[in-house]
Amino acid sequence: MVIEIKVPDIGNFDTVDVIEVLINIGDEISIDQTLLTLESDKASMDVPADVAGKITQVLVKVGDKIKEGDVIALLELADAKTSSPTQASIAAPTVAEAVQVPDVLQVPAALPVPTNADCDVLVLGAGPGGYSAAFRAADLGLKVIMIERFPTLGGVCLNVGCIPSKALLHVVKVTEEAQQLAAHGISFGKPVIDLDKLRGFKESVVSRLTGGLAAMAKMRKVEVVQGEATFIDTHNMAVKLNDGSTRNICFDKAIIAAGSRPVHLPFMPENDPRIVDSTGALKMDSIPETMLVIGGGIIGLEMATVYSILGTKVSIVEFTDGFVPGADRDLAKVYETYNKNRFEKLMFKTKVITATATDAGIEVTFEGENAPSTPQTYAKVLVAVGRAPNGKLIGAQNAGITVDERGFIPVDLQMRTNQANIFAIGDIVGQPMLAHKAVHEAHVAAEVCKGLPRFFDVKQIPSVAYADPEMAWTGLTETEAKLKNIAYEKAVFPWAASGKAIAHGRDEGFTKLLFDPDTHRLVGGGVVGANAGDLIGEIALAIEMGADAMDIARTIHPHPTLIESVGMAAEVFEGSCTDLPPVKKK
């Protein structure tokens, strides 16, 4: 019997790119054999087969953009008796969202709670999701133990991610604003960079926040255990402490918040300090003369922006046709135009195929539409192709916890795994891998542990690229709407008509709102421009509250501000905007 192999749910990504096809007509494939390699702005990933058989037709090729439901190949089952009579599904790639299942999973009853349990709730991981879960559970009166392998609380976000990168991007913003004042009659000398002081500023920001978390843990009587943890069974966890000893912790319920790690490309030289991930780039140990950033997603753009202001000649290679594939192209286009002179070279629709460590630097060979004809050498290479979940690194199998082939842990809408007393949140349950999503999932899990009727049921999750200009979007995107044939109507307010934007010399951006054509309710929105990330919150709230265009348009916004562009975009939709040429009233 011949069946179709289709693309599964790819979460918040409308399409992903095929960068390698590993099957041919006539190939005999086995279960878990890799069929394709895909790439998004978050990660490169393999797509394995979950059935065995013979490939009779291959329907995709390198360079194709594929979406959920597309047929990848036709396969003749090796054993039709044991396979689906209609179609075979392939395991979800790493861009898959948290598994959407019924509100509450049908799970086996947990083992009886030992009478000598050390805590009501054990939280594995102390990032934004982990500490939020621990603190919320403690606030609800539960006894909590939180395990963290690193010396300070806060996880990747506070220590080597969101926070230190924003501290450095603040320096970039102030520096560039000072330079731009020359056009308005105020000039400063060339910036003098003291790398030690810059690094010290970044570390002071991190220290202040992580120290505050430690204090709040003490206030809530949350016990913090430092070490690497592994499940023993559904009620016990072994923690290898820093002194080499092992502590076994018995718990009633557990919340897994073990996060993710940077994706590493297998062809990159090992253990070369000139090749870094985002963590290495944030160490700021030197200012390289040249740098290649592999990946034009959010992480790559942020670090490319930082190093460019320090004087590094930065080149970016991105397999897709533009920056930040998750964002609508009109947002990304504004960023590209504004930054046309910032970077040394942009190589879209291009990929790295080899990298060799030499005395002169890292020699890189490219392939694709904009690939250089000869290998290029860089003083430093930043690999920023996404993150992989840590689900396979915590001994989940010992507790019978389901973990998919990529390391994601499926959960229901109460964040419960297939084990009744074990929950999971954050990066480890799927895309989008964002701290603010993890925090809200954490509150749900903690409250369910207390017995409260909570569910993670949201209409939108905002995303922000903190480059310059910033790009922010939430809810339905135009790209997704067109791909899924969802009807929508759009209203755009250009910042060229914003008094605040013009006064600040930053009128390149715009605010865009998407409405349901029948109900006029807001279903999505995007902003590009200075401080766009600070504007997207109102759009997020409006979507969650079910606001329509009239609600937003008739809400009085302060003037002159950038946030009033949200109200004015709604007025554009209503046909009542007096800050733009007249349009036909709806």
- Does an H or E element contain 177, and which? helix 162-180
Q: How many CB atoms lie within 10 A of CB 345?
A: 13
Q: What is the pLDDT of residue 149?
A: 94
Highest mean pLDDT among 68-72, 180-184, 437-441: 437-441
Q: What is the pLDDT of residue 293?
A: 97
Which one-letter DSSP state was computed for residue 191?
A: P
Rounded CA-CA distance 328/476 in Å is 10
Q: What is the pLDDT of residue 94?
A: 33
**pLDDT band for position 499 (50/70/90)?**
very high
Asked if 404 and 424 count as a contact pair (C-beta separation under 8 A), the reply is: no
Mean residue pLDDT across the chain: 90
Q: Residue 219: CB partners within 8 Å, gap ≥ 6?
A: none
Q: How many CB atoms lie within 10 A of CB 199?
A: 16
Rounded CA-CA distance 54/294 in Å is 35
**pLDDT band for position 105 (50/70/90)?**
low
As a whole number of Å, the CA-based R_g of the chain is: 25
Pairwise pLDDT comparison (103 vs 380), residue with the higher score: 380
pTM for the whole structure: 0.80
Reply yes or no: is the peptide bond before residue 102 cis, omega within 30 of 0. Answer: no
| Pairing state between β 345-348 and 313-318 | parallel
**Over residues 319-333, mean pLDDT:** 93
Rounded CA-CA distance 146/374 in Å is 51
Helices 128-139 & 435-450 angle (0-180, nearest 10): 30
Q: Residue 310: CB partners within 8 Å, gap ≥ 6?
A: 193, 287
**pLDDT band for position 69 (50/70/90)?**
confident
Rounded CA-CA distance 465/538 in Å is 17
**Over residues 104-113, mean pLDDT:** 57
**pLDDT band for position 93 (50/70/90)?**
very low
For the residues of 348-417, what is the DSSP string, one character each? ETEEEEEEEEETTEEEEEEEETT--SS-EEESEEEE-S-EEE-GGGS-GGGGT----TTS-----TT-B-
Q: What is the pLDDT of residue 102?
A: 46
Q: What is the pLDDT of residue 64?
A: 86
Q: Active-site residue among 170, 504, 557, 559?
A: 559
Q: What is the pLDDT of residue 454?
A: 94
**Would you state the structure tokens that stand for residue 195, as one six-digit string?**
């790398």
Residue 101 has pLDDT above 50, yes or no: no
Q: Residue 238: CB partners within 8 Å, gap ≥ 6?
A: 229, 230, 231, 232, 246, 247, 248, 249
Rounded CA-CA distance 330/173 in Å is 23
Sign of the torsion angle spanned by Cα atoms 374, 325, 466, 159: negative
Rounded CA-CA distance 565/487 in Å is 24
Q: What is the pLDDT of residue 84?
A: 36
> How many residues are recorded in the chain?
586
Q: Report pLDDT digits (tens) over 24-54.
A: 888 888 876 888 877 765 555 667 777 888 9
Rounded CA-CA distance 154/210 in Å is 6
**Over residues 455-475, mean pLDDT:** 96
Residue 77 has pLDDT above 80, yes or no: yes
Which of 524, 506, 507 has its CA nearest to residue 516? 524
Q: What is the pLDDT of residue 86?
A: 34
Q: What is the pLDDT of residue 97?
A: 40
Q: What is the pLDDT of residue 12?
A: 53
Q: Residue 299: CB partners within 8 Å, gap ≥ 6?
A: 278, 384
User: For this structure, is 559 an active site residue?
Assistant: yes
Residue 7 has pLDDT above 50, yes or no: yes
Residue 301 has pLDDT above 50, yes or no: yes
Counting Cα atoms < 13 Å in the Cβ hemisphere of 447 gives 13
Q: Report pLDDT digits (tens) over 215-270.
A: 999 999 999 999 999 999 999 999 999 889 999 999 999 999 999 999 999 999 99
Asked if 465 and 301 count as a contact pair (C-beta separation under 8 A), the reply is: yes
Q: What is the pLDDT of residue 444?
A: 98
Q: What is the pLDDT of residue 433?
A: 95
Q: What is the pLDDT of residue 114?
A: 73
**Over residues 125-153, mean pLDDT:** 97
Which of 536, 158, 466 has its CA nearest to residue 300? 466
Asked if 275 and 355 count as a contact pair (C-beta separation under 8 A), the reply is: yes
